[in-house]
Structure 1
């Protein structure tokens, strides 16, 4: 079996195309990302947000000669390093990074040439090259500020949203470019509400006939702020693959086979076992790839072992680990785990009726007036992928309104003696119409209802400094990548963040291309770890 790739950052643009399994939903989403609309792409870790952004970027790149739509992919995964009381630093970091990336992509496409001044005149530089270098230096200084306190108190990129819009309008009027699409990944990755509010304000302010912004965010941990109204300022696209869709299992199977066609015979031979793993993954490709890899060679015994380990232990320990990283959120994180593990799942497992069958429900409904800490807890469970929002504003029993959530199928069947058979049974019996309902003042809320949600982020700013000495083994990357980093001496989070691509090139057979790939993979894994 070949090594399966769990993260988009591990893939080249060519591999993104090779591994893309298009569904009707994916095509609609990609077309929205390529359109003039402002789009917020929302989904839990591993559902494929970055992958869809990359596919949209590649399609726009390939059609640039005819569409003249300039795709600019930006990742904000280093935002968590900007731990500063000066909110202007984050604002100017965003502006610098956006402007720098637009100039770079325009030059790659031949839209601007040597000594062009489209962006330079608006930021008082001699040329676009000078502007790009100045902004690149400023961005790097801000990202490295966690290492020391040498930066001046006042930081100014020399640009603002109106400047960027004017520059892009000039770009479109003076060159062959018709419009620009910003594809922002990890836009709201970190648990810093103030930064997120600043980004969404900027997202709203950048909208113009020549520029549209698309942003990938996580459910449960995104703060849009007062100035950005999601229903009016953007189209929300939830990246949740419908497990009840008739083409779901076929698409999930194809996702695995695109990476390793040699698994075809083993999957065909153990089709029902594979289908159980795919259904348990609840629409999350990364979870499926991880569990298929862990269950290799695919067999009933290996699948049973993998499901027990992953859905009884790993998925819950990863969620609880959020409480260690974000002390202010620990109470709601712990309550959410207990709510599901001690009450919901045991209730669903309880045998009922003459036939002694387990409850077939996997959906829960929470009244819209439930206490804020309860809703915060459920949102964080969505962030971890243990719950999936499956409709808001839904009317339930007695005409009451609330939000429906789907429990991760693996989390529901993992505690069973035979998780594979339990998943297969549930797959044939599930119905979206049947829900476990919880009103506005359910007795299970009592222990959490009076928690002050507004005080949950007070200890966030000290988090980065406390984590820099953690081992590279804590990161979500392949064993090969970890081994290479440790061989080079980059065995902690802090050392990786302080490294450069030239440092990675000290290893045998590692040149500029591979060092860039290693840096992207390492940085993405580090930042996802630091951000939760």
Structure 2
């Protein structure tokens, strides 16, 4: 494997790959143990920080230990929820319940827990066998997902099930098979910018909790709506997946993540240690960002690293964030304001001290008063979603005894404007103080342009956006060059063609069987859905 073939996404990996590439830290181990426990967990983190990877590690460990623990891991992703017609609230609810049930039945069958004549889940489908139930539910959720292709096709929306029925079926399964409990690992659980779907999901998440079933859900920061019926502090434990860049083991673990994927890079990383450290520090704890920037350097040296840091953190990340305004027109004002706020005011404030003293400023934290306008908070939340900011503590008292939220500015974003971002990143590495912040009060003058914006009335043009993007080329998707090339070879060169494809279609390629076609489908679908969601 060359650096250009590093795997950026968990969807690229088999469970065996996940086990092979996993670099354990104390935080990771604690998180995985929580995911395997009876607790209800909300796993929160920006794109690429490793939420899916941790879910998969937990799944693999439970699979490997099933004969002893009798804990059944069921992994399911909701990444296609953005394709659903959001005007029909019941459609998402029943799609979600059908998908959860079908995946539970599927995993139980794989473990030999359901025999051919078993009727543990029969109550979910009017007395039908578990096989027939699973088949009907799979047909239902696939039909709902594919409805965007033909809007005139009548849909069966009602799954005929509810959370209580699922809990009863799971309890019966555990009692009859000696299974201790089921752990439901839901990836892409709360799809961004569709508040109604998110509120429905968290209500179901609360209602599914039982001694035999626990739910773990991965969500994005800043754009998740829990709803009135789900109280995060009461109904679940929140785990933020943010690697501490000031942890003494941080750089070692980030090196190991890259070398574990490609051992041939070890010599180059050792020879150019300071350059690698700058890239790792600039990534601000995001493994995908590190892997992408390492891959883009081609040959690891100072000149290439400086070029990549400037291109990625000055252009790519900001471009992706600004593109949210084209996808979600109602959010355009806050997205544009957030970029202007950081680029034209916050970052220059930090750099101005450098010009006055001759030394780089040590600050990468900003603090926003808790009573700042709602539109300001929305802008900051979206910056967290894009990975440009990271929330680093709420309810914090700043100067003058005022209370607010602290945010960490992405180190790459902070240092990319410098003439030598590699040197700037390494200088910051040894000089950051979490106590030093740029502070913005409740009524700062920079808020004036959006202070009166009504956040509640921001529109969500999901369906129209999806329709307008179907002709976009596969080159715009965030996937490896190898995966992109295979899709093109098969003729799936646009977003619409990929969404319309099946695993059988992918098997038309030479040397592609059921396992490889499933991997290709996962990779392609994940890339498409992340593109559509921003």
What's the TM-score bracket when you normalise by the shorter of the two chains? Answer: over 0.9
Q: Partners in 2 of 1:456 and 1:21 — Cα distance? A: 41
Q: Partners in 2 of 1:345 and 1:240 — Cα distance? A: 22
**Map of 2:110 onto structure 1:** 108
State the 4+ residue runs in structure 1 displaced beyond 6 angstroms: none
Q: Partners in 1 of 2:161 and 2:473 — Cα distance? A: 39
Q: Partners in 2 of 1:154 and 1:496 — Cα distance? A: 24
CA displacement 1:424-465 (0-9 Å, x = unmatched) = 111111110101111000000000111111121342332211
**Map of 1:162 onto structure 2:** 164
Comparing 402-411 with 466-475, which one deviates more in the overlay? 466-475
Does residue 141 of structure 1 match 2:143?
yes
Q: Of residues 56, 59, 83 in structure 2, which corresponds to 1:57?
A: 59
Q: CA deviation at 1:126?
A: 2.1
- Identify unmatched segments of 5+ residues in structure 2: none
Q: Of residues 322, 325, 333 in structure 2, which corresponds to 1:323?
A: 325
Q: CA deviation at 1:359?
A: 1.8
- Identify unmatched segments of 5+ residues in structure 1: none
- 1:37-186 equivalence runs, <5 A: 37-152=39-154, 155-186=157-188
Q: Of residues 216, 219, 227 in structure 2, which corresponds to 1:225?
A: 227
Comparing 379-388 with 292-301, which one deviates more in the overlay? 292-301
Q: CA deviation at 1:466?
A: 1.4
**Map of 1:245 onto structure 2:** 247
**Map of 2:6 onto structure 1:** 4
- 1:19-38 equivalence runs, <5 A: 19-38=21-40
Q: CA deviation at 1:153?
A: 6.0
Q: Partners in 2 of 1:221 and 1:202 — Cα distance? A: 19
Q: Partners in 2 of 1:354 and 1:165 — Cα distance? A: 64
Q: CA deviation at 1:154?
A: 5.9
Q: Partners in 2 of 1:359 and 1:481 — Cα distance? A: 42
Give the length in aligned residue pairs: 532
**Map of 1:381 onto structure 2:** 383
Q: Partners in 2 of 1:169 and 1:59 — Cα distance? A: 23
Q: Partners in 2 of 1:431 and 1:521 — Cα distance? A: 39
Q: Please give the TM-score of this superposition, normalised by the length of structure 2.
A: 0.98
**Map of 2:529 onto structure 1:** 527
**Map of 1:308 onto structure 2:** 310
C-alpha contact (below 8 Å) 1:79/1:190 kept by paired residues: no
Q: CA deviation at 1:481?
A: 1.3
Q: Partners in 1 of 2:84 and 2:447 — Cα distance? A: 36
Q: Of residues 471, 475, 478 in structure 1, which corresponds to 2:477?
A: 475
Q: CA deviation at 1:353?
A: 8.8
Q: Please give the TM-score of this superposition, normalised by the length of structure 1.
A: 0.98
Q: Partners in 2 of 1:110 and 1:11 — Cα distance? A: 25
- 1:274-293 equivalence runs, <5 A: 274-293=276-295
Query: What SS does structure 1 have at the residue aligned with 2:182?
Result: strand
Query: What SS does structure 2 have at the residue aligned with 1:450?
Result: coil
Q: CA deviation at 1:176?
A: 1.7
CA displacement 1:308-362 (0-9 Å, x = unmatched) = 1111111100100111111111110010000000001111011359742232100
- 1:109-508 equivalence runs, <5 A: 109-152=111-154, 155-351=157-353, 355-508=357-510
C-alpha contact (below 8 Å) 1:191/1:457 kept by paired residues: no
Q: Of residues 8, 13, 16 in structure 1, which corresponds to 2:15?
A: 13
Q: Partners in 2 of 1:496 and 1:255 — Cα distance? A: 30
Query: What SS does structure 1 have at the residue aligned with 2:404?
Result: strand
**Structure 1 vs Structure 2 CA RMSD:** 1.2
Change (3 A) 1:64 1:430: same
Query: What SS does structure 1 have at the residue aligned with 2:183?
Result: strand
C-alpha contact (below 8 Å) 1:391/1:403 kept by paired residues: yes
Q: CA deviation at 1:125?
A: 3.3
CA displacement 1:151-202 (0-9 Å, x = unmatched) = 4366211110000000011111111211000000000133110001100000
Comparing 449-458 with 138-147, which one deviates more in the overlay? 449-458
Q: Partners in 2 of 1:132 and 1:150 — Cα distance? A: 26
Q: Partners in 2 of 1:302 and 1:164 — Cα distance? A: 54
Q: Partners in 1 of 2:29 and 2:456 — Cα distance? A: 39
C-alpha contact (below 8 Å) 1:281/1:410 kept by paired residues: yes
Q: Partners in 2 of 1:434 and 1:111 — Cα distance? A: 56
Q: CA deviation at 1:84?
A: 4.1
C-alpha contact (below 8 Å) 2:6/2:291 kept by paired residues: yes
Query: What SS does structure 2 have at the residue aligned with 1:365?
Result: strand
Q: Partners in 1 of 2:190 and 2:402 — Cα distance? A: 32
Comparing 503-512 with 208-217, which one deviates more in the overlay? 503-512
